[in-house]
Amino acid sequence: MIWMMPFFPTPYPDELLYSVLARYHLRSGNISFKATMEDVFGTKNATAVVELPSNINALISNMPLNTEYTADYLIDNHTLFPFYTAFLPPKRAQWVRNNMMKRNGKGIYGKTGIMASSVVSNHYFRFCPLCNEEDKERYGELYWHRIHQIPGVLVCPKHQVMLCDSKVPIKGYNKHQYVAASEENCIKSDKVVVHSDKTMSHLNNLAKDVEFLLNNQFERRPTEWFHEQYRAKLMEQGFATINGNVMQKKLTKEFVQFYGEEFLTLVQSSIEIGSDNNWLADMVRGRNRASHPIRHLLLARFLGITIPDLFYRQLTYKPFGDGPWPCLNPAAEHYLKPVVKQLKISYSNDTKRPVGTFSCDCGFVYVRTGPDVTEESRYKVGKIKQFGHVWEAKLKELVEKGLSLRQTAKLMGADPKTVKKYAAKLGLETYWEKRSKRELIQDKGNSITNADKKDYYRGEWLKLMNQYPDKSKTELRQLNKAVYAWLYRNDKEWLKFNSPEPIYRYRNTRVDWDKRDKEILAKVKVVVEEMLNSTEKPERITISLIGSKLGIRALLEKHLDKLPLTNQYLDSVQESRKDFQLRRIKWAVKELKKEGQELKMWKVLRKAGIRKEFCQDMENYILKMIKE
């Protein structure tokens, strides 16, 4: 004989399935709880389970005809499945769902990790006095809310008042008994519990996070996913090295300071400072075992990770920002332009900071210690590891022009010793080496005859002419002034007949600076406007950064005095450190509001990337922004 329930109570918002079945028992007129079990599940041996009930398929099959409820709907909306399985791997979460549908739900709690956690379930059903008043007025009866039964949730996220214990135990004396919420068993205690403002703030935030987790379906992720998410933030905030080694003592100390011992004790997540053997250490070490969802939420909020980001945005630590990065090779045409795509990050045991090795296609490789704090940091070189073929070709070109060592070093962006070293490595015959030879001849004095000197200087002049056949006598003179001076003083006739014929050229090299000023001003205004209106994290408005964005940094830095209109405009818009911090704070407040996060000073500072010790004179301004 196929037995069906004569009716099924309509579940209320956020009502436990246990509560729905308790209301069914009251309305059915059944005297025996086993009779209710037989109505609902088709067997007298079923158990009344609160958090993760099984036998859901049997319940669906026994419902009245044309009932549209499904097993998945009841599991997702009227049990604690979304909460307890949110951080489980996909296969394990699906196993729990499947076994909740089946008649025998054995092993469900073990799979979720609830049994292994030190966070224990509540002893009694909990209720919110204000929710009960609203439920009584709206529905004419009370019911058990899911959110109120989760361990660690001590306040109602809707009314932000402390929850109360009812007189109904979670694990009753009769395992087949469903007990409905009523005014008789939900009596508000006269005892007033007072917690600090800090503790109440954290309790409210945790309740809201649990509610969000409970009422939204997220893609199930493997355990390693969450470990990588946490590790990226730990590295970013200085709690872990670039290699992922966590600084346990520092993390534990700041975590406890952030939440306070009172709050952590209330939510069954106390940590002993100085001990490496605690639940937080286990989580960040990435051990492949389940952690209680409450503790995932605590760690995520401490690290500033929103719940959607935790599940859907793959977090990576970028101490040097997003690429491409600028090439800092002065000899390359793309100098200061963002063309470097290769970056290797390591960790310095000495400084405890990340070290970036940037490699450009031009062969230039440089190293910088991070993390980058400002935009200007991207244009600093810590150490050059390799100059590359483009730099070496430029050095050869300058040597052939016969420039002095100091001039060559300046144009190559390197010190004279480095230039000497690479010139020797490339086998280049340089002007400064020739000069050393001449000085050697002069130092020998009378031991060198005038004929020898004449042969030497004539040979040097002829070499110069052969090397630069298109240059005039004046241009050759500039390339080797010492040779020319000796010949002019001691061998003038020979020099006259062995020099290029005079070339008369007219070259108009005049630059129309007024026209250039107006053109550059227009471009600068566009860049400044884009920087001010950008929705991305603000960049500081400086002459060097604007120049880099336009590819005219050297022009702005060296010839700004010839561009009066541009100079005046840049002077009016470039930001001081304080101006830039204020703009970052405005941006951070706006972003946090957009994300729906509660505005706190530490959140604003973290979002803006400003250390607290650098903004003491702006605390009133930040508080004003938060209150607006």
Burial of 559 (0-12, 13-18, 19+ CB in 10 A): middle
Q: Do 363 and 387 form a contact (C-beta atoms < 8 A)?
A: yes
pLDDT bin (cut points 50, 70, 90) of residue 514 is: confident
**Greater confidence, 245 or 96?**
96
- Interval 209-227 mean pLDDT: 92
Q: Do 389 and 407 form a contact (C-beta atoms < 8 A)?
A: no
How far is Cα 620 from Cα 628, in angstroms, rounded to an integer? 12
- Looking at residue 508, its pLDDT comes to 46
- Looking at residue 570, its pLDDT comes to 85
Q: Do 85 and 96 form a contact (C-beta atoms < 8 A)?
A: yes
**Greater confidence, 488 or 434?**
488
How far is Cα 327 from Cα 30, in angstroms, rounded to an integer? 81
**Tokens, residue 164:** 């109360």
Q: Return phi, psi of residue 377, to 5°.
A: -60, -30
The fraction of the chain above a pLDDT of 70, given in percent, is 91
**Greater confidence, 620 or 325?**
325
- Looking at residue 455, its pLDDT comes to 76
| All structural domains of the chain with their residue ranges | 1-189, 223-312, 325-386, 390-428, 432-505, 513-575, 578-627
- Interval 180-198 mean pLDDT: 90
How far is Cα 388 from Cα 207, in angstroms, rounded to an integer? 58
pLDDT bin (cut points 50, 70, 90) of residue 51 is: very high
- Give the other-Cβ count within 10 Å of 598's Cβ: 12
Of the candidates 496, 474, 479, 500, the one whose C-alpha atom is nearest the C-alpha of residue 487 is: 496
Q: Supply the DSSP string of 546-597, one letter for each residue.
A: HHHHHT-HHHHHHHGGG-HHHHHHHHHHPPPHHHHHHHHHHHHHHHHHHTT-
**Tokens, residue 495:** 């020099």
Range among 317-326, 459-468, 591-600 with highest mean pLDDT value: 317-326
**Greater confidence, 28 or 117?**
28
SS3 sequence, 502-518?
CCCCCCCCCCCHHHHHH
- Interval 503-522 mean pLDDT: 72
Give the 3-state secondary structure percentages of the chain, helix then strand then coil, rounded to 5: 50, 5, 40
- Looking at residue 444, its pLDDT comes to 47
- Looking at residue 115, its pLDDT comes to 63
Segment among 10-14, 106-110, 231-235 with least mean pLDDT: 106-110
- Interval 500-505 mean pLDDT: 64
Amino acid at 361: D
HSE-up of 40 (CA within 13 Å, CB side)?
Answer: 31
Residue 507 has pLDDT above 50, yes or no: no
Residue 52 has pLDDT above 90, yes or no: yes
| Residue pLDDT, tens place only, 404-457 | 788 888 888 888 888 888 888 887 877 666 555 555 455 444 455 666 677 788
Peptide bond into 371 cis (omega under 30): yes
How many whole angstroms from its chain centre is CA 135? Answer: 43
Amino acid at 393: A
Range among 53-67, 124-138, 230-244 with highest mean pLDDT value: 124-138
Of the candidates 186, 135, 130, the one whose C-alpha atom is nearest the C-alpha of residue 162 is: 130
pLDDT bin (cut points 50, 70, 90) of residue 127 is: very high
Cα 265 to Cα 119, 154, 272: the distances in Å are 11, 12, 11
How far is Cα 8 from Cα 28, in angstroms, rounded to an integer? 10
Q: Do 172 and 152 form a contact (C-beta atoms < 8 A)?
A: no
- Looking at residue 237, its pLDDT comes to 87
Using CA of residue 165, residue 168, residue 173, residue 177, what is the dihedral sign? negative
How many whole angstroms from its chain centre is CA 333? Answer: 32
The residues pairing with 369 across neighbouring beta strands, listed in sequence order, are 355
Look up residue 168 and give its DSSP letter: E
**Cα(first)–Cα(last) distance of the chain, in Å?**
67
Using CA of residue 179, residue 181, residue 185, residue 191, what is the dihedral sign? positive
Q: Which residues of 336-369 are buried (b: 16+ CB within 10 A; e: fewer)?
A: beebbeebebebeeeeeebbbbbbbebbbbbebb
**Tokens, residue 141:** 């009866």
| Residue pLDDT, tens place only, 543-581 | 888 888 887 888 887 888 888 888 888 888 888 878 888
pLDDT bin (cut points 50, 70, 90) of residue 12 is: very high
Q: What is the CA radius of gyration of the chain?
A: 39
Q: Do 248 and 188 form a contact (C-beta atoms < 8 A)?
A: no
3-class secondary-structure state, position 325: strand
Kindly report the pTM of this predicted structure: 0.62
How far is Cα 493 from Cα 480, in angstroms, rounded to an integer? 19
The strands making up 354-359's β-sheet, listed across from edge to edge, are: 342-347, 354-359, 365-369, 383-386
Mean residue pLDDT of the chain comes to: 85
**Tokens 């566009």, located at residue:** 526
- Interval 52-78 mean pLDDT: 92
- Give the other-Cβ count within 10 Å of 313's Cβ: 11
- Looking at residue 612, its pLDDT comes to 64
| Residue pLDDT, tens place only, 340-370 | 999 998 877 777 788 889 999 999 999 998 8
